[in-house]
């Protein structure tokens, strides 16, 4: 029986791609950079994922992710690279302006409130995630919110989860499940922490070898059957 769910936020409870697209489009206009095409956003998105995966492997720091991705993107697009720090600062706030729920996630979390303990576990910045969780109403439904920036460790590191368990304990690991879209962050993290892993995979992508995936779901409503 699952008694604690650790929810990822971006691309799991909330549609991060929609928020990313809206934020970049609006900030290009605000910074006088002209119109940003969907093709440019797609190139940035691929670049962004590469930087976050480097962070998860411990190759770079969070500040290097946040500014470095825009520096590289701007360099490739012929935009003044010196704008990257200021652009990123504005981007963190703008990400919280677009709230799109995945699979009625708000209603799912709300329906589980009081039945299982629910916590957010995210590598997103404090600025961005606080605004998203507040505006979406998801934060108020949670029993805890754990952001790597505040804990000083990123998913998938065991140290991240050790701090979560110390804060919410007692925790039976066999009764604790992480639900997330990222194999490298959520599923690897759950494996490192010794808890049940649930991969949210709406696109039905084939997972590469090397991951312990206890459950795979296409829709968040499937979580009910796992409890």
Catalytic residues: 8
Measured CA to CA, the distance from residue 113 to residue 63 in angstroms comes to 35
Measured CA to CA, the distance from residue 226 to residue 30 in angstroms comes to 45
- 32 touches 7 (CB < 8 A): no
Measured CA to CA, the distance from residue 67 to residue 70 in angstroms comes to 5
Residues 6+ apart with CB under 8 A from 36: 24, 25, 28
- 170 touches 131 (CB < 8 A): no
Measured CA to CA, the distance from residue 198 to residue 182 in angstroms comes to 10
> Hey, what are 160's tokens?
């991240």
Measured CA to CA, the distance from residue 80 to residue 58 in angstroms comes to 28
């Amino acid at each position: 029986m699952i008694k604690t769910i650790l929810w990822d936020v971006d691309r799991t409870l909330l549609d991060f791609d929609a928020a990313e697209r809206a934020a970049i489009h609006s900030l290009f206009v605000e910074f006088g950079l002209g119109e940003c095409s969907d093709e440019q956003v797609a190139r940035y998105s691929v670049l962004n994922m590469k930087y976050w995966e480097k962070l998860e492997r411990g190759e770079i720091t969070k500040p290097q992710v946040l500014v470095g991705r825009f520096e590289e993107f701007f360099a490739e697009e012929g935009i003044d690279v010196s704008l990257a720090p200021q652009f990123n600062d504005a981007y963190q706030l703008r990400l919280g302006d677009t709230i799109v729920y995945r699979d009625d996630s708000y209603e799912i979390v709300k329906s589980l409130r009081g039945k299982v303990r629910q916590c957010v576990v995210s590598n997103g910045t404090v600025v961005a995630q606080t605004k998203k969780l507040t505006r979406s109403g998801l934060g108020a439904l949670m029993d805890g919110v754990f952001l790597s920036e505040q804990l000083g460790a990123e998913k998938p590191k065991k140290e991240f989860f050790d701090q979560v368990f110390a804060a919410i304990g007692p925790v039976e690991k066999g009764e604790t499940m992480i639900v997330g879209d990222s194999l490298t962050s959520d599923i690897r993290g759950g494996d490192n922490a010794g808890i049940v892993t649930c991969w949210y995979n709406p696109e039905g992508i084939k997972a590469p070898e090397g991951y312990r995936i206890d459950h795979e779901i296409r829709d968040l409503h499937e979580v009910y059957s796992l409890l």
